[in-house]
Amino acid sequence: MRFQLVTAAVIVAISCCSCKEKASITLPAELALQKAPSGFPEIPFPEENPFSYRKWELGKMLFNDKMLSVDYTVSCASCHKTELGFSDNVAKSLGAGSLTGRRNSPTLTNVAYQPYFTREGGVPTLEMQILVPIQEHDEMNFNIVDIAERMKHVPQYVDMSREIFDREPDPYVITRAIATYERTLVSGNSAYDKYMNRGDTRGFDEAAQRGMRLFFSMRTGCSDCHSGFNFTNYSFENNGLYIEYNDPGRKRLTGKESDKALFKVPTLRNIGLTAPYMFDGSVKTLEDVVAHYNSGGKPHPNKSVKLRPLQLSMQEQKDLVAFLYTLTDAEFITNKNFSNE
């Protein structure tokens, strides 16, 4: 399906030269939504799709609207639930027609900072990524042009499209609005952040502190891949989950055997909310995740050379889990700006 993006991208990449967006009034909410947490770089709103509050409002409405799926049963929010850190709590989410998806729904936490999208990294922009779930037969199973036609029968969508973009609903409007909303899904006020920024130990007990030292140690090497403010280096790795994989991983994009069963390293932000884990949702708990890495993983020709048996004690594994839970940002998942009610 992703090879169809070439055609779809032509539709989406309509020049904004012919449709200058109207200026918006600056509101307090607009300022808050553009503010990055302490220690984070500025939220990267692209020049060709700058932030505006009204555009954000339209994007939020579309994100939560089931008209984006062929049978009106699935919205973006169906698989990316606010209370779960914009992820899902099943191994593989159900799409239109109750079809089961191929992979676990990834979190949208801090998606603005991703340099490329999908687990094999085949989509260069967030605007283009929006086409992927819309077109996938086991997700929304629809066409973005047909979504625009549906929008034309909803007066509010027509009015907002004209106001914000000075044009009728179309693929450009849909992708730019949803991408604007998704770029504001920024999380950086967890117990870990409060401890690092202010020395606040509430919610960051001794077990979590021990776990943090382990996490950033050469002994475990966790931070070799899960580094930086977003706890990922965005590289592609095989973590020895299986000896034989049913999913080709990055090879699906490149065709290279050396990329077989390689997947993009995910952020660990809000990881305590995003179970089950791994690209296929096959690992149920954080305890199981830590146990997997402690074992060194299963043999595979492309397994990362960074993986090895860690020989952590049970207490050390518990400490690591305790630390990972401190990456949960309660204010993020209860932020009324992101509520779909």
What would the pLDDT profile of 205-217 be if each residue is shown by its tens digit? 999 999 999 999 9
pLDDT for residue 137 is more than 70 = yes
Q: Is the pLDDT of residue 293 over 50?
A: yes
Residue 177 has pLDDT above 90, yes or no: yes
Q: Give the mean model confidence (pLDDT) for residues 86-98.
A: 98
> pTM value?
0.92
User: Has residue 7 got a pLDDT over 50?
Assistant: no
Over range 60-65, report the average pLDDT: 99
Between the CA atoms of 150, 151, 153 and 156, what dihedral angle is there, to the nearest 10 degrees? 160
Question: Hey, which CATH number is domain 2-186, 1.10.760.10, 1.10.10.60, 3.40.50.720, 3.30.465.10?
Answer: 1.10.760.10
Q: Which two tokens stand for residue 253?
A: 């994009």
Bridge partners (DSSP) of residue 263 are 237
pLDDT of 314 > 90? The answer is yes
Going from N- to C-terminal start, the domains of the chain cover 2-186, 191-331
- State the average pLDDT over residues 11-27: 46
For 125, list phi and psi in degrees, rounded to 5.
Answer: -135, 155
Residue with tokens 């690992």: 283
Q: What is the pLDDT of residue 60?
A: 99
**Separation of alpha carbons 298 and 238, rounded Å:** 10
The angle at the Cα of 194, spanning 192 to 197, to the nearest 5 degrees, equals 105
- Report in angstroms the alpha-carbon separations of 180 from 55, 62, 313: 7, 11, 45
pLDDT of 188 higher than 60:
yes
List strand residue ranges (DSSP E) for the chain, in order: 236-237, 263-264
To the question of domain 191-331 being in CATH 1.10.760.10, the answer is yes
**2-186 and 191-331 have identical folds:** yes
CA 156 – CA 21 distance, rounded (Å)? 18
Q: Are 59 and 177 in contact (CB under 8 A)?
A: yes
